[in-house]
Amino acid sequence: MIIAVDGPTASGKGTIARALAAHFGLPHLDTGLLYRAVGWQVADRGGNPDSADDALAATAFPDSLLDNPALRSEAVGALASRVSVHPAVRDALLARQRAFAGQPGGAVLDGRDIATVIAPQADAKLFVTASVAARALRRYVEMRGRGEDVSRESIEADLAARDARDSARSVAPLRQAEGAALLDTSALPPAAAIAAAIALVEKQTNR
């Protein structure tokens, strides 16, 4: 069983994808981490994330980089969004994602283009979203909890810019795939969002 979970940043898709993986006993891949690793490596080498050549050269990274907590920052998320517009970068990361989706028994993948490009054959497809205000508030609480000095306004502006870039790019833009169930988590606490996601997957897979 392949479960595709797509959606914008801070929509809750990561939490939902991890919970679905645990519930259905499937391995999980956070595909955003792959783009974050590329973005991080470009910056680490002093390269330009808007240069397709610099970004492509950074697509070969050690697996150990995926465990680096630095990848989770907002700054690296923005770098990931910039490198992800280059078609050559997306191509370089495609085989790894398809292989993960195609493993025996299935898998859960979350990202922006799982149901549209990586695994259109997925048995269950969710498009997880939430209002910009709700997503910005979540990020604000999370970042304040880490002791970061941020304002809600600046987070909202960053989220809106990232949404615009991810949705407007010409290759594999963020969009709800045909057949994907919409799950708006704006007013849902995590446990309720997870329960709703499990119910939608059960409905799509007749379980």
Residues at the site binding ligand DC, with contacts judged by CB under 6 A: 9, 31-32, 35-36, 77, 80-81, 84, 111-113, 162, 166
Nearer of residues 94 and 198 to ligand DC, judged by Cβ: 94
Nearer of residues 27 and 203 to ligand DC, judged by Cβ: 27
Question: What are φ and ψ of residue 150, in 5° steps?
Answer: -130, 160
C-beta of 115: minimal distance to ligand DC in Å?
Answer: 10
Nearer of residues 169 and 204 to ligand DC, judged by Cβ: 169
**Strand order across the 28-30 sheet:** 28-30, 107-111, 2-6, 124-129, 181-184
d(CA 100, CA 36): 18
C-beta of 77: minimal distance to ligand DC in Å?
Answer: 5
Nearer of residues 170 and 206 to ligand DC, judged by Cβ: 170
Supply 133's token pair.
């205000």
The sign one gets for the Cα dihedral 50, 95, 58, 30 is: positive
Nearer of residues 81 and 129 to ligand DC, judged by Cβ: 81
Per the CB < 8 A criterion, the answer to whether 40 and 68 are in contact is yes
C-beta of 207: minimal distance to ligand DC in Å?
Answer: 26
Q: Scan for tokens 């007013």, then name that residue.
A: 187
C-beta of 91: minimal distance to ligand DC in Å?
Answer: 12
DSSP assigned state of 53: H
C-beta of 112: minimal distance to ligand DC in Å?
Answer: 4
